[in-house]
Structure 1
Amino acid sequence: MRTLALLAALAVGARALISDHIDQSILVASQNSNKHTSDAEQDRVTSLPGAGDLDFELFAGQVMYITVDEDAERALFYTLAESSSPQPDKDPLVLFLNGGPGCSSIGGGFLSELGPFYPTPEGVSLVKNDYAWNQLANVVFLESPAFVGWSYSNTSEDAVVGDERTAKDTYEFLLRFLTRFPKYQDRPFWLAGESYAGHYLPNLSVEILDGLKNKKHDKDHLNFKGFLLGNPLTVPEIDSRGALRFWYTHGIISEDSYHGALENCDLTKHEPLKLFAEKAGAVADLDEETEEGTRFVRSNRKLSREIFDADHGIGSNGDDDRQKCEAYIIQAMDEMAGINIYDIYADVCLDEDQQINKKQFSISNNISGGGGGGDADGGAFLSFFLKQPPQPRYDPCISNEVEIYMNRPDVQMAFNANSSGHQQPGPWVTCTPRVEYSRKDVLTSMLPVYDQLLGSGLEFLVYSGDIDAIVPIIGTRRWIRKLGLEVEEKWRAWRSATGQVAGWMVKYSEGLTFASVRGAGHMVPYTQAERAFHMFSKWVHGKPL
């Protein structure tokens, strides 16, 4: 990958730039870890509509946005849910990142998975999450890159972005966050995330290690421990093959589709799952005949040709292989019949006519495909599925409760959103079509990055919900095996606090542990909250699963 370039990307001058923002209030606050800086106090959230009294400290930044690039006027929005434990000043700091790329960690992590609340249907109020991670840690949820959620840039070209700048911006955010909240500078610090965070976290980890090595910040002020990473997109070809095998072995697609796709689709160049994803919302039209055939098949073929043409065909036979691959993909999509690919045993939302509710897949809202449009992406692996939030575990027919809640004026005021005078281009959305993410980066293997991280003294937990069909456990176990690590603790079951088997785990050399989470889908803290909470608690406190 481009890791060497990434390592050199931040100049030592970043430290000086940050120091320019340190005022007397920060110096005073640094003398007492229980106090907050004046900048932090401007970000304080005193209440959230529908939440009742808060039993923890909450901050959200737009009154004093954390700017990561003054020239481009690029700034990232965050929410900090401080620990509600009896001793919050002793609890670790965690930065959580959702994937996409282009999806909000506030809409995902904070309001859908591991945050303190869930919105009720129609976004009327909030209900408490009994397994919120901020009961154990101080958790930061970041909307990254720019144009995701309330993060913005006044330079339109910033919408075209890739892994390198995302890592640089997130690192810059982290440094400035620690300046705003200096009491966290010596806390144990963990990264956490899922999905396309399979790129975000390893790249950011390298950036942090480079900063420590080159004294871009005081080592004592960033006590970096490692990361927790769920169902991560890591090696596109391996993950794609794993997905196809998962679908076949779980009886979702036919043997003909499985072998046909494997034999005729070059998974290193473009990805059959892109074709599945782009037409997820068309399943409801399967029976609607037109003069040109079913709307589903017609639109699938058009889209397939566009994507194949963008890649100049595949294999030695060019057009012949392209047409065969396209045919098998369309056939397999028909066989899948619109199930919830994030959690294959969960029901989907049906409308009054017992048809799949097309809003569940809402292609028109998030059609960019991995954050990219046109040449910036052109068909990135899994990209569309990864940008679509899975259905809630408590109600498959909730249409989009997070977006309803986040677009309420009183909620935006409570979050300090839009109070800086920056004009948002449209409504808040969970996953934005504005980000044009580098297709090259999406297709890049992360194994060379792991080679730099393993053995560095950091600890890494990679975990997989075992009923996720979009980045399933099969591919993850396969790319971990390619790292060539020694097994230090053999495969065994691990149990949650209830005494039930929560999954299985294996510990490798050089700091890597892999764990499965039984009965969990793509968003593990959402679909198996108690098991995810127990796993998180054990990991950040240095205890074995």
Structure 2
Amino acid sequence: MWSRGNSGRRRNAAVVLFNFMVVVVLQLYCSSMVSVVMAARGSKVDHIPGLQYDGPLPFELETGYIGVGENEEVQVFYYFVKSQTNPTTDPFIFWKVGGPGCSALFAIIQEIGPISMEVVKYTGGMPKLKLNPHTWTKVSNMLFIDLPARAGFTYATTKKANVSSNMKESEQAYEFMRKWFNDHPEYLTNPFYVGGDSFSGLTVPIITKMIADGNEAGTKPLINLKGYILGNPASSLNNVHEYRIPAAYGMNLIPTDLYKSLEKNCKGNYDHFSNELCAQDMGKFDQLTRGINPTHILEDFCIRVGTGSDGLRRSLSQRPVLPPGEFCWQMFWYLRSDLWANNVAVQDALHVRKGTIGRWCACNYTDIGYTADMTDALPYHANLTTRGLRALIYSGDHDLIVPTMSTEAWITSLNYSTVDSWRPWAAHDGIIAGFTRSYSNNMTFATLKGSGHIAPFFSAYECLIMFERWISGQKL
């Protein structure tokens, strides 16, 4: 999963790390850019195919496109869900998923959006959806986007525009926001937050700083920026890799003698082997953790089929879907989302422009030329927190993709004093949901006990409680 070559290869491996969902599955479904048929910029969604709910939607959803870049060659697809409480005054969250190249539908359907997949055996036809009782749209407006080009339903009108990077993607996101608010000025006074997870731990701080800089420069429209939110964030790729071995040891996946030998022989550099003893130790580590699901060490790492697309499809389709906690959620999400999002009735309902993409896929790693041109966002965090902006950083503590201790380490490196010491926090009835600490720079760090990558997928209720308290200014 992680390259061990020269420095250039290690930089590319920074992106590969977050391609934790099996790339082979995705390659079955993604295809190249096709012809373009333009449609209206933003439209209300009146119904959602497959949703098991009678009557009109209990939430307001708008989808559409906004062009960004030179000659608007990247057409960014968005989903805007109004707050179900008071959209005129409730906070406004702009959400960017990770990958890079993953669709916003993962956040909408599987994490914090108003709908979710029903975990039932598939018997054919339209996959079933249900209302999500733990959606963040209960208390906030949510604007989700597909970015960069070729992620989700976002497309480019030129081949050159399919190439992206951290900085380019962030610039496009900021341009998108300014244009969106020009079309929706009624939300400019709402408290505004930028949010994201996983690989967006790099882009969200950049986007937030661009907004802050734009506001100071008087760039219109002025956005009422209040802070940012990051879940299981890869804000420092070197830090993430450095703590993977200690995290595995802390989770009792490797024995003490191997951990001590790794420390001695690799000296913290687990990406580029400086000697043969380090290479031997890393070989033992890889062998011991090969069957561990890095997204959640307690979950089955079920996609173990061999090569060959036909055999892969058959193996996945024949595997039964079991109740939560007993089924392979990666397989479940990929198969169901693929069936749902590629259904013509679904794309019509969402107002997707016909002929703009090939086959939708959950995470597109095949058609995007992406460069990690910024692998450490810590200077951005330091800059933002000196401006009085609030920050919520949360992490599932069974995540081996972005270990909790790696996130805690870079937060600690910012050298801010503690105003609320490390303590447990409870979601309800005194039951511990995780641990938290707050800092003098308006940053709150919270863990989700027993959760993985990404936390709301595994701990939806607890994450909603955490978000509700933090966004309203309460202590966890």
TM-score (norm 1): 0.71
User: Does residue 432 of structure 2 align to residue 497 of structure 1?
Assistant: no
2:149 — aligned with what? Answer: 146
1:517 — aligned with what? Answer: 448
1:396 — aligned with what? Answer: 328
**Which amino acid in structure 2 is aligned with residue 67 of structure 1?**
G
Q: Report the CA distance shift for 1:187/1:39 in structure 2 as closer, same or farther (over 3 A).
A: farther
Total equivalences in the alignment: 416
2:90 — aligned with what? Answer: 91
Deviation at 1:262, TM superposition (A): 4.6
Deviation at 1:428, TM superposition (A): 3.0
1:119 to 117, 120, 132: 117
Q: Which has the higher contact order (CA 8 A, sep 6+)?
A: 2
Map 1:15-26 → 2, pairs under 5 A: none
Partner secondary structure for residue 464 of structure 1: strand
Structure ID, larger Rg: 1
1:286 — aligned with what? Answer: none
Map 1:59-458 → 2, pairs under 5 A: 59-61=62-64, 65-71=65-71, 73-85=73-85, 87-106=86-105, 108-120=106-118, 122=122, 124-219=127-222, 222-255=223-256, 257-259=258-260, 261-262=262-263, 272=271, 315=274, 321=275, 325-349=278-302, 356=304, 395-396=327-328, 398-399=331-332, 400=334, 401-419=336-354, 421-422=355-356, 424-441=357-374, 444-458=375-389
- For residues 510 and 529 of structure 1, the distance between their equivalents in structure 2, rounded to whole angstroms, comes to 27
- For residues 340 and 173 of structure 2, the distance between their equivalents in structure 1, rounded to whole angstroms, comes to 26
Contact kept, 8 Å, 2:178 with 2:221, in 1: the verdict is no
- For residues 83 and 476 of structure 1, the distance between their equivalents in structure 2, rounded to whole angstroms, comes to 30
Map 1:23-42 → 2, pairs under 5 A: 42=42
Partner secondary structure for residue 43 of structure 1: strand
- For residues 176 and 306 of structure 2, the distance between their equivalents in structure 1, rounded to whole angstroms, comes to 37
Partner secondary structure for residue 88 of structure 1: coil
Contact kept, 8 Å, 2:43 with 2:62, in 1: the verdict is yes
Q: Report the CA distance shift for 1:237/1:430 in structure 2 as closer, same or farther (over 3 A).
A: closer
Contact kept, 8 Å, 1:190 with 1:224, in 2: the verdict is yes
Which one is further off, 488-497 or 470-479?
488-497
Deviation at 1:267, TM superposition (A): 6.7
Q: Deviations over 1:13-52 (max 9, x none)?
A: xxxxxxxxxxxxxxxxxxxxxxxxx966x42111110113
TM-score (norm 2): 0.80
Partner secondary structure for residue 71 of structure 1: helix
**Which amino acid in structure 2 is aligned with residue 403 of structure 1?**
D
Q: Deviations over 1:85-106 (max 9, x none)?
A: 2x33222111111111121122
- For residues 191 and 331 of structure 1, the distance between their equivalents in structure 2, rounded to whole angstroms, comes to 41
Q: Report the CA distance shift for 1:474/1:158 in structure 2 as closer, same or farther (over 3 A).
A: same
- For residues 416 and 397 of structure 2, the distance between their equivalents in structure 1, rounded to whole angstroms, comes to 22
- For residues 101 and 45 of structure 2, the distance between their equivalents in structure 1, rounded to whole angstroms, comes to 25
Contact kept, 8 Å, 2:166 with 2:373, in 1: the verdict is no
**Which amino acid in structure 1 is aligned with residue 97 of structure 2?**
N
- For residues 218 and 77 of structure 1, the distance between their equivalents in structure 2, rounded to whole angstroms, comes to 21
- For residues 76 and 92 of structure 1, the distance between their equivalents in structure 2, rounded to whole angstroms, comes to 23
**Which amino acid in structure 1 is aligned with residue 188 of structure 2?**
Q
Q: Report the CA distance shift for 1:39/1:198 in structure 2 as closer, same or farther (over 3 A).
A: same
Contact kept, 8 Å, 1:102 with 1:433, in 2: the verdict is no
- For residues 421 and 255 of structure 2, the distance between their equivalents in structure 1, rounded to whole angstroms, comes to 34
- For residues 392 and 215 of structure 1, the distance between their equivalents in structure 2, rounded to whole angstroms, comes to 49
> What's the C-alpha RMSD, in Å, of the aligned pairs?
2.8
Deviation at 1:440, TM superposition (A): 4.1
Deviation at 1:393, TM superposition (A): 5.3
Gaps of 5+ in 1: 1-37, 273-312, 316-320, 351-355, 366-390
Gaps of 5+ in 2: 1-38, 314-322
**Which amino acid in structure 2 is aligned with residue 201 of structure 1?**
V
- For residues 268 and 183 of structure 2, the distance between their equivalents in structure 1, rounded to whole angstroms, comes to 45
Q: Deviations over 1:296-328 (max 9, x none)?
A: xxxxxxxxxxxxxxxxx764xxxxx3x655544
1:467 to 398, 403, 414: 398
Q: Deviations over 1:409-461 (max 9, x none)?
A: 11111111123x53x143433343222221442xx222111221112011011
- For residues 253 and 456 of structure 1, the distance between their equivalents in structure 2, rounded to whole angstroms, comes to 42
- For residues 130 and 458 of structure 1, the distance between their equivalents in structure 2, rounded to whole angstroms, comes to 29
Identical-pair percentage:
29
**Which amino acid in structure 2 is aligned with residue 406 of structure 1?**
A
Contact kept, 8 Å, 2:150 with 2:364, in 1: the verdict is no
Q: Deviations over 1:173-198 (max 9, x none)?
A: 11111122222111111112111111
Partner secondary structure for residue 331 of structure 1: helix
**Which amino acid in structure 1 is aligned with residue 428 of structure 2?**
A
Contact kept, 8 Å, 1:97 with 1:105, in 2: the verdict is yes
Q: Report the CA distance shift for 1:257/1:166 in structure 2 as closer, same or farther (over 3 A).
A: farther
- For residues 470 and 176 of structure 1, the distance between their equivalents in structure 2, rounded to whole angstroms, comes to 34
- For residues 263 and 241 of structure 1, the distance between their equivalents in structure 2, rounded to whole angstroms, comes to 14
Q: Deviations over 1:367-387 (max 9, x none)?
A: xxxxxxxxxxxxxxxxxxxxx
**Which amino acid in structure 1 is aligned with residue 327 of structure 2?**
D
Deviation at 1:395, TM superposition (A): 3.3
- For residues 358 and 501 of structure 1, the distance between their equivalents in structure 2, rounded to whole angstroms, comes to 41
Partner secondary structure for residue 328 of structure 2: coil
Q: Report the CA distance shift for 1:178/1:513 in structure 2 as closer, same or farther (over 3 A).
A: same
- For residues 434 and 261 of structure 1, the distance between their equivalents in structure 2, rounded to whole angstroms, comes to 37
1:531 — aligned with what? Answer: 462
1:296 — aligned with what? Answer: none
